[in-house]
Amino acid sequence: MHGFTGRILKIDLGRRHVEVITRDRDFYHQYLGGAFLAARLFKEALAGETPPAPLAPGNPIVFATGPLAGARVCGSTRVNVVSRSPETPGIYTSQGGGEFGPDLKRAGYDALVITGRSAAPVVLNIRNDRVRFDDAAHLWGRDRSEVYAALTAAKGARGSIASIGPAGENRVAHANIMFEPDHYAGRGGLGAVMGAKGLKAICVGGDRAVVFKDEAGVRAVNTTGARTFLESFEKNPHSFLGVLRTYGTYGLLMLNQDIGNLPVKNFGQARMDDVDFEAAIEHERIGADTVGRRTPCKGCYLGCKKMAKGEDRAPLPEYESMALLGPNLGLRHLAPGMAATDLCNRLGLDTISTGALIAYLMDGFENGDLDADVLGYEIRFGQAEKVVELIRMMAHREGRAGSLLADGIAACRQALGPAADRHLRFANGMGLPAHMPRVKPGIGFGYLHGPNPGDHMKAEHDWIAASPGDLEMFGLSATSEPAALDRAKVQVYRATQIYFAAMDTLSLCLFIFGPGNILALEDIVTMVNAATGFDYSCAALMQIGENAIQLQRELYEACGGRDADYLPYLETPVPDGPSAGNRINPEDFRAARRLYYRFWGWGGDSHA
C-alpha cells in the first residue's frame, strides 16, 4: 500500500492490551486519514454502544495522521485527535503540528486508538512493534516543559512526544495536549481525557520508510509550491503569508488591530485604543524586539513557528493566545500576555478558553453582575498579576474560583447565576477565538455550529466571499461583502467548510493548502494521487470532505452535541474603529441557519 501502512494500533490502558488491526486499500480510499479516519475509528471503538462520558475509561481517544506524513512534504505534519469532549457536548476534533504524526507513521501506524484507564500514571512508549507501559509516577504533577525535557533525555532514540500538564491530570475541562516542545492540540479539553486515563505522555518513533506510489510526482508538486511561495514572498513580503514567514502569527496582532478585528475587553471593542500598544505591535518593532529564530515544522518553506527573543528560549506566542490573554483582558502591554501564554502552555491549558473564562469574570465584576463573596475571588480588566494567579488556580483547581473555572463555563453559570450571562463569549462551552464574529460574521456563524463549535480553522474566513477569483474553485459566482451574513455567505461558508474538512482528512496545514494560499486544488489532488496511487478527481476529494463532516456531525449529536444559541451581544454594534457599526442581526442569523441546514439536508428541529 502506498502512503499508508495499513495498520492501526489499539491500546487498552486498563488491561495493558495491545492489538494491531489492519485495513485494506478500499478502506483508505474511502476514509483517507486524519480527521475522517479518526472519526471512523472512534465510531468503531464504540461498537454500537452508547458513547461513554468524556472522562470515563471507555471513552476512546484517537490520534490519526495523513497519507503524506512521514516524508519531507511541506505542511503534511499535522495530527488530528478525536474524542468525546469534556469542554463541550459532543465529540471534538483537535489538531497539532510537530513530528508526532509523521513519527506515528514511521513507527508503522496510520492511527492510534486508546481506551481504558491505567491504575497508575503511565507513559506509553511506542517504537515500531514494541509497546511499553512505563511508570510515570515521577512525572505526575510536573509541568510539560519539565516532562518533555525528562522524556527527551531518557528515551534514547529519535521520536516524538505527546504529553499533558497538571491541568490535564486535574481534569480541567479545557486542558490541552502538547506535541513536541511548542505544538498543541489546544481545543476541546482532550488533555483532560488523557489525564482521566492516567496517561501522562506518549512517546512514539520508528524507522519504517514511508512509500509513495510516485515519489518524484510528490516531490515535483512540493517543489512547485516552494518556488511559488518564495517568488510571491520576494514580490510582496507584507502579504498575509509574508507576515507569517517573517513574524509568525504574532504579527497578526497589527493586521487585526488595523482592520478592527482585535478583541478588547471581552470582545467589547475591536481595537486597542492606546498609542503605546499600537507602537509595540508594529512589525518593525516586534521584528527588532520580540521575534526570534524560526523553528519550522520539518520540510516547511513558510516557517511560521518562531522562538521569542530572550534568554529563556520560550516559543513565540500565537496570535490567538496573545489577543485573548492580552487585549481581551484589558492588558495594554505585550509582556503580561506573553507570560500568561507561557504559563498556560507549561500547565497545559488551552489559551483561547482560558482567556474567555477570565474575560467573562472581569466583565462581570466590572459591571456589578458578579459577587466576590460568592466566588471567593475578584478580578478586573487590566490586572495582569491576578491573571497569572488565576491561571495557576485553574490548572491546580485551587480555591472555589479555580475549581469552578476548571469545570468550564456551564459550571460557572450554574454557580454564579444568570446575571453575568450577557458577558458570555462562548459557543457550547468553547471560548470564542480571536476573530470577532461581528466583524467576520461567516466565521462567527460557524463558531455556533457543530461538529466543532468555537473553531476558527474549519472554514475560510470572510474575506474570500468578496474574492470572485478564489470562489471559482468552489463553483460559486455570487459574492458577499465581508461584513454581511446573507445567502451567498452561507454558501461560501459551507463550501469552504467542506474544503477544510478534506484538508483535515489529509492532515495538511491550511497556511500552505488553504484556498488562495500557495497550491491550487488540482495540485493537491495530483500530489495525493502520486502518493497513494489513487485516482481522485477534485470533486471526489471534496466529496470526502463532505462525508467527513456528515460522520463527525453524526457522532457529535450521538454524544449530545447541539448547535449553540444566538449570542445576544452580537446584536450590539462594534462601538468604534474601522469596523464600527458591525453587528449580526438575529433575523439574519436565523435565516442563515435555516439555509445552512437546508444546504446540508439536516432537519432543523434536531439541530437547533
Q: Quick check: helix, strand or coil at residue 507?
A: coil
pLDDT band at 492 (very low <50, low <70, confident <90, very high): very high
Residue closest to 70 by CA, chosen among 4, 148, 162: 4
Residue 608: its pLDDT value, please? 42
**pTM for this model (two decimals):** 0.97
Which CATH superfamily groups domain 7-205?
Aldehyde ferredoxin oxidoreductase, N-terminal domain (3.60.9.10)
Q: What percent of the chain is helix, strand and coil (3-state, nearest 5)? A: 45, 15, 40
pLDDT band at 410 (very low <50, low <70, confident <90, very high): very high
Q: Which DSSP letter does residue 325 get?
A: T
Residue 604: its pLDDT value, please? 60
pLDDT band at 606 (very low <50, low <70, confident <90, very high): very low
pLDDT digits 0-9 by tens, 277-289: 999 999 999 999 9
**AA identity, residue 436:** M
Cα 490 from Cα 593, distance rounded (Å)? 8
> 187-191, 287-291, 544-548, 602-606: which range is least confident on average?
602-606
CA torsion 458→6→131→349, rounded to 10°? 0
Reduced 3-state DSSP string for 321-355: HHHHCCHHHCCCCHHHHHHHHHHHHHHCECHHHHH
Mean pLDDT of the region 336-360: 97
Residue 607: its pLDDT value, please? 44
pLDDT digits 0-9 by tens, 166-210: 999 999 999 999 998 899 999 999 999 999 999 999 999 999 999
Q: Which residue has the higher pLDDT, 181 or 16?
A: 16
- Enumerate the H helices of 140-291 as residue ranges: 144-155, 166-169, 190-196, 215-235, 240-247, 252-259, 275-280, 283-289
Mean pLDDT of the chain: 96
**AA identity, residue 72:** R
**115 phi and psi angles, rounded to 5 deg:** -130, 175
Q: Which DSSP letter does residue 548 get?
A: H
pLDDT digits 0-9 by tens, 74-98: 999 999 999 999 999 999 999 999 9
C-beta atoms surrounding 122 within 10 Å: 24
Mean pLDDT of the region 495-517: 96
Containing H/E element for 490? helix 487-505
Instruction: Dig out the grid coordinates for 491 from the structure.
Output: 454558501
Residue 350: its pLDDT value, please? 98
C-beta atoms surrounding 310 within 10 Å: 11
Cα 265 from Cα 253, distance rounded (Å)? 15
pLDDT at 15 > cutoff 90: yes
Question: Is beta strand 122-127 parallel, antiparallel or unpaired with respect to 199-205?
Answer: parallel
pLDDT band at 155 (very low <50, low <70, confident <90, very high): low
Residue 181: its pLDDT value, please? 85
Mean pLDDT of the region 127-148: 95
Confirm or reject CATH 1.10.569.10 for domain 248-424, answering yes or no: yes
296 burial level (CB within 10 Å; 0-12, 13-18, 19+): middle
Mean pLDDT of the region 391-395: 98
Residue 154: its pLDDT value, please? 80
**Domain residue ranges in the chain:** 7-205, 248-424, 441-600
pLDDT at 327 > cutoff 60: yes
Beta bridge partners of residue 431, listed in sequence order: 426
C-alpha neighbours within 13 Å on the C-beta side of residue 340: 36
Residue closest to 348 by CA, chosen among 81, 167, 140, 85: 167
Mean pLDDT of the region 430-451: 98
pLDDT digits 0-9 by tens, 202-242: 999 999 999 999 999 999 999 999 999 999 999 999 999 99
Residues above pLDDT 70, as percent of the chain? 99
Fold of 441-600: 1.10.599
Mean pLDDT of the region 9-14: 98
Same fold, 7-205 and 441-600: no
Place of cell 507602537: 279
pLDDT band at 34 (very low <50, low <70, confident <90, very high): very high
Residue 156: its pLDDT value, please? 58
pLDDT band at 310 (very low <50, low <70, confident <90, very high): confident
Containing H/E element for 365? helix 351-366
- Contact residues for 10 (Cβ-Cβ < 8 A; gap 6+): 18, 19, 20, 21, 45, 112, 113, 114, 115
